[in-house]
Amino acid sequence: GSSGTLGSQYAHTLSQAGANTILVDVNDSKNLEKELTQKYDTRIKSYHVDISKEFEVIKLKKQIVNDYKKINGLINNAYNINAVFYCCIEFAKKIKKQKKGSIVNIASTYGMVGVDQRIYGSNKINSPVSYAAAKGAIINLTRYLSAYWHGKNIRVNTLTPGGVEDTRYQKASFIKNYSKKTILGRMARKDEYNGAILFLLSDASSYMTGSNLVIDGGWT
């Protein structure tokens, strides 16, 4: 999910921190690759892959290992639970051999609490049941894998973000209704999860695994 609103933010943050950033998306990330390459002095490469297909994930892992030799971290920013599972299992094979690595699965507030459909009104962007079910599954998949890989030095954590304000498709009434649900009284800016991603992927969170880091303005 590298080419999306938050995925591209994570890519900039990691590249700025000196990481060789690998972009993977079902959509073309070539423009983001070019942008990052021009801005940061790191190796950037994009792969156009449908990670909901296991054979494509297996092929992708082989390509990345061939190009980069190692994999230090993985961010699963897609919400298809099968895709997240495939990526966790396949990339963990390489991380286990290295004896160190961090996996971050991106969930959602709606993976923790029921969707309040009242805040959407008539703007037709109501959150579907598939999204809530998948995000809830991602949180428990994280717990399961962190325990399953005990002793392998693979840390697996979840980041649970709240909603990001985007006036391109969100009506003012929705933004107002959503904001009332939070203690901070507003939706998130798209750059407000960057520090969390850096924390979870780095040794700053070395004693953290199986956990869910919730950053939702106080909704939950």
Angle 73-78-79 (CA atoms, 0-180°, nearest 5)?
130
Structure tokens at 66: 């061939």
Helix (H) or strand (E) holding 160: strand 154-161
Active-site pick, 102, 135, 146, 181:
135
Structure tokens at 14: 């990691």
Active-site pick, 59, 131, 152, 179:
131
Q: How many helices (H) and strands (E) does the chain have?
A: 7, 6
135 assigned to active site: yes
Task: Give CA–CA dist 92/110, Å, rounded.
Answer: 27
Q: Identify the CA nearest to 68 among candidates 44, 84, 49.
A: 44
185 and 179 Cβ atoms separated by less than 8 Å: yes
How many Cβ atoms are within 10 Å of 5's Cβ, its own excluded?
11
108 assigned to active site: yes
Task: Give CA–CA dist 33/22, Å, rounded.
Answer: 9
How many Cβ atoms are within 10 Å of 120's Cβ, its own excluded?
18
59 assigned to active site: no
Active-site pick, 3, 8, 108, 146:
108
Full strand arrangement of the beta sheet holding 212-215? 73-76, 101-106, 154-161, 212-215
Instruction: Report the catalytic residues.
Output: 108, 131, 135
